[in-house]
Structure 1
Amino acid sequence: MPASKGELLKRMSDGVVDMEEKDVIEACNEYLEAGYPVFDGIMEGLVDGMNRASQLYDDEEYFVTDVLLCSDAMYEGLSILRPHLSADEAEKEKPKGVIGVVEGDTHDIGKNLVKIMIETAGFEMFDLGRDVPLQNFIEKAREVNASFVCLSTLMTTTMVGMSKVIELLKEAGIREQVKVIIGGGPISQKYADNIGADGYSTNAVEAVKLIKRLLDVA
């Protein structure tokens, strides 16, 4: 007897939380074969699992490395389900964001975690990577019509790059359309206020809440 929709959704969600890529892949394939709605599988299975993992991280039961492994399992499932979304569901407009580590810094684990959490929350993210030339943030934000830019650094010597990005956005005439969120070890709310950033977040979970609040989305 084939598994019910609820059983398969739970297997997907549990597989993500337990970092079991094989279980997620098997559950997603069974889900497709059974003909259940693909969008529900993504949201109520994979994304639900990632939300649970982020809560465990927030509760300090999971570490960054755990969440990254959970995200690997989620992305494996997405690679199976996403191609089967209906055209209407696949083309739904998502708020877009640009993220990267500012020029001079190559620490990117925190940035990767923030990107995963924001994507899980339903935003489309464009990841520029690490040691990103400052002008690249402006060019990509303009290219994709981004609603926000996330800047990260773990080094005090590269913090000034964040204020330069804000100035470059002003010079490009798009500062009013783009929210700027900053974060990283040496960053503080005071520094965000000083350079005119729209927000500062201490961790990935709070970053999602902040972006939703700034963009006024549920």
Structure 2
Amino acid sequence: MNTIFEEIKDAIVDGDEDLAVELAERVIAEKADPVQAVQLGFIKGIEEVGASWISGEAFLPDVMMAADAMKAGMDVLEEVLAAGEGEGAYEDKGKIVLGTVAGDIHDIGKNIVGALLTSAGFKVYDIGIDQKPEDFVKKADEVGAKILAASSLLTTTMKSQKVLIEYLVEQNIRDQYKVIIGGGPTSAKWGEEIGADGWAETADEAVLLCKKLLG
């Protein structure tokens, strides 16, 4: 059965989303161990791509394609993993809700951050662009995420990051989440001013920040 795990790894490295889904479906159909499929297939693949990116052998589009392939395949296995099937228990490094704040429709930076967080082993729930505070919280409650990552690419929408934190305070749920912010016009000073738990200037820094916040 190791062959299918190797095929999954190669599909992730190649960024082949359709093949990743097909192989995940085969794991279920052939009653292979889904935890092993994740650990020896999906994670090995994404780790290889991440290492190649760090060494300069791969580029961000490669990482993003690999992350998309991993997400697609993992979505297929999610139900059997949640049911506790397989040897041992699969645990990701943490769940993160990622989105661009209300009034802002930019998503390239957000997508890069999401791809690198996924390659680092986090389970990322990207809710998209122009998202209100309630949207972040609703998704976080649904999936059990502990980090809300809010992106803003315009000076006119930065205030929506502040509004998100104010909403958490008003709802008496501020202590339930770590809030990190990023985006071109933002800064460490802005993060401190609005009471964020952290600010990242680059996607690499966002990964390190999340690792630190989730211990």
1:48 matched to 2:47: no
CA 106–61 in structure 1, closer or farther in 2 if over 3 Å, else same: farther
Selected match of 2:60 from 52, 60, 64: 64
Alignment gaps of 5+ in structure 1 = none
Tell me if the contact between 1:152 and 1:184 (Cα under 8 Å) persists in the aligned partners. Answer: yes
Q: Deviations over 1:24-67 (max 9, x none)?
A: 45655665676542211112211221122233334444333222
Alignment coverage as a number of residue pairs: 212
Equivalent in the alignment of 2:8: 12
In the other structure, the counterpart of 2:136 is 137
Return the alpha-carbon distance in structure 1 between the equivalents of residues 99 and 172 of structure 2: 21
Which residue number corresponds to residue 181 of structure 1?
A: 180
- Contact 2:67/2:119 (<8 A) preserved: no
Q: Deviations over 1:176-209 (max 9, x none)?
A: 2211111122222232223221112233343233
Q: Is the Cα–Cα contact under 8 Å of residues 81 and 90 in structure 2 kept in the other structure?
A: no
Which amino acid letter does the alignment assign opposite residue 41 of structure 1? A
Residue 157 of structure 2 aligns with which residue?
158
Deviates more, 1:127-136 or 1:93-102: 93-102
Cα distance in 1, alignment partners of residues 82 and 152 from structure 2: 39
Give the superposition deviation at 1:141: 4.3
Which 5+ residue runs of structure 2 have no aligned equivalent?
none
Following the alignment from structure 1 to structure 2, what is the Cα–Cα distance between the partners of residues 99 and 59?
A: 26
**Distance verdict in 2 for CA 1:128–1:145, change over 3 Å:** same
CA deviation vs aligned residue, 1:67-98 (integer Å, no higher than 9, x gap): 22212322343355445447225997865432
Q: Judging changes above 3 Å, is the alpha-carbon distance between structure 1 residues 89 and 206 closer, same or farther for their aligned structure 2 residues? A: farther
Structure 1 residue 105 displacement after superposition: 1.2
Q: CA separation in 2, counterparts of 1:139 and 1:23? A: 32
Contact 2:102–2:131, Cα closer than 8 Å, also in 1: yes
Q: 1:67 to 1:144 in 2, by over 3 A?
A: closer
TM-score by length of 2: 0.78
How much does 1:123 deviate? 4.5
| Code of the aligned partner of 2:74 | L
Equivalent pairs: percent with the same residue?
Answer: 38
Structure 1: distance between partners of 2:27 and 2:171: 47
